[in-house]
Structure 1
Amino acid sequence: MVAGTFTKTFFSTIFNKVHCLAQDGRDNGFGNGYVWAGSLESGIQIATHHKKPVMVIIHKSWCSACKNLKPKFANSAEIQSLSKHFVMVNLVDEEEPKNNTFSPDGTYIPRILFISPKGLVDHDIYNEEGSSQHKYFYSRPEQIAKSMRRVLEKYKYEQFDV
């Protein structure tokens, strides 16, 4: 009985700590109307726990294409609405993962990648209207929203917390 209570308390504390990390994320110019995970690791952890996909934006503070995308992304009502079904992560400068999984067709920026609710990068979701050489580059909110809808359709059999 005591062990069961201890276990419940332990996991509740761990979950609350992980859940709170989502509130620690910075918008880095992509909009404070979104809930940003504090890191890629915490975002994936939250996503696998809640069975939600992850949207990862990889960008640089000095990049003109990134600066151009930020206000469009921040002001998109459609992306904001869809974002409630995702764990949102944005990685700037040195936060970019060194793992090739996050640069499937190059290290250009900005790149937007999606991670399945099981924690795996989904290379099948990309900007279908974009360049075949830079599949994860998005310049317009409509393109991003289209990919977000594709992710939700692909994982429709997963249970999403709203």
Structure 2
Amino acid sequence: MVAGILTKALFSLVFNKVHCAQGGRDNGFGNNYVWAGSLESGLQIATHHKKPVMVIIHKSWCSACKNLKPKFANSTEIQTLSKHFVMVNLLDEEEPKNHTYSPDGTYIPRILFISPKGSVDHDIYNEEGSSQHKYFYSRPEQIAKSMRKVLDKYKFERFDK
């Protein structure tokens, strides 16, 4: 009986912590999306729910970032696809210092996709973009194409092994 109550309390604590971590800021990318509060909480949620992660790394002073924000925010296609992702956007100093998140440079904006197991997927990039800046996206159609590619790639894999 006591073990059951403790298990239930622990589960509730963990669930509430994961659930509450979703309250991230949109930073101009749209409040119609559910944003994780941080990269760490996004990775935790992704692992728990077996979902891929979309990470947008951007800066407040960047004109290309400012240009992308309203296009992203108003894209119904990205909004629909985003329900299958854990969405993370990292502004200014939130950018990870780890080179894992800058596979071909530290340019911005940079959009990376992370597998449900937590590793950056180098196979998903803007195929219509520059070979020097593979993770730079300027149009919602490019982002949606990569999102669909991610969903196709991970649809048949099992992550409970």
TM-based fold match above 0.5: yes
State the partner residue of 1:40: 39
State the partner residue of 1:20: 20
SS of equivalent to 1:41: helix
State the partner residue of 2:96: 97
State the partner residue of 1:128: 127
TM-score by length of 1: 0.95
Report the AA paired with residue 84 of structure 1.
Answer: K
**What is the deviation of 1:159?**
7.0
- The count of corresponding residues between Structure 1 and Structure 2 is 159
Q: Does 1:2 align with 2:2?
A: yes
**What is the deviation of 1:122?**
0.7
Q: Once the two structures are superposed, what CA deviation does each residue of 1:91-145 show, in whole Å capped at 9, x if it has no partner?
A: 0000000000000000000000001011111111000000000000000000000
State the partner residue of 1:11: 11
**What is the deviation of 1:5?**
2.4
Q: Does 1:106 align with 2:105?
A: yes
TM-score by length of 2: 0.95
RMSD over aligned Cα, in angstroms? 1.3
State the partner residue of 2:50: 51
Contact 1:25 1:37 in 2 (8 A): yes
Q: Does 1:75 align with 2:101?
A: no
Contact 1:51 1:158 in 2 (8 A): no
For the residues of structure 2 that align with 1:41 and 1:124, how far apart are their CA atoms?
A: 22
For the residues of structure 2 that align with 1:87 and 1:158, how far apart are their CA atoms?
A: 17
**What is the deviation of 1:158?**
4.5
Q: Once the two structures are superposed, what CA deviation does each residue of 1:135-157 show, in whole Å capped at 9, x if it has no partner?
A: 00000000000000000000002
* Distance verdict in 2 for CA 1:125–1:21, change over 3 Å: same
For the residues of structure 1 that align with 2:11 and 2:120, how far apart are their CA atoms?
A: 27
For the residues of structure 1 that align with 2:153 and 2:104, how far apart are their CA atoms?
A: 22
Unmatched tracts of structure 2, length 5 or more: none
Q: Where do 4+ consecutive residues of structure 1 move more than 6 Å?
A: none
Higher mean Cα deviation, 1-10 or 149-158?
Answer: 1-10
For the residues of structure 2 that align with 1:25 and 1:159, how far apart are their CA atoms?
A: 28
* Distance verdict in 2 for CA 1:55–1:18, change over 3 Å: same
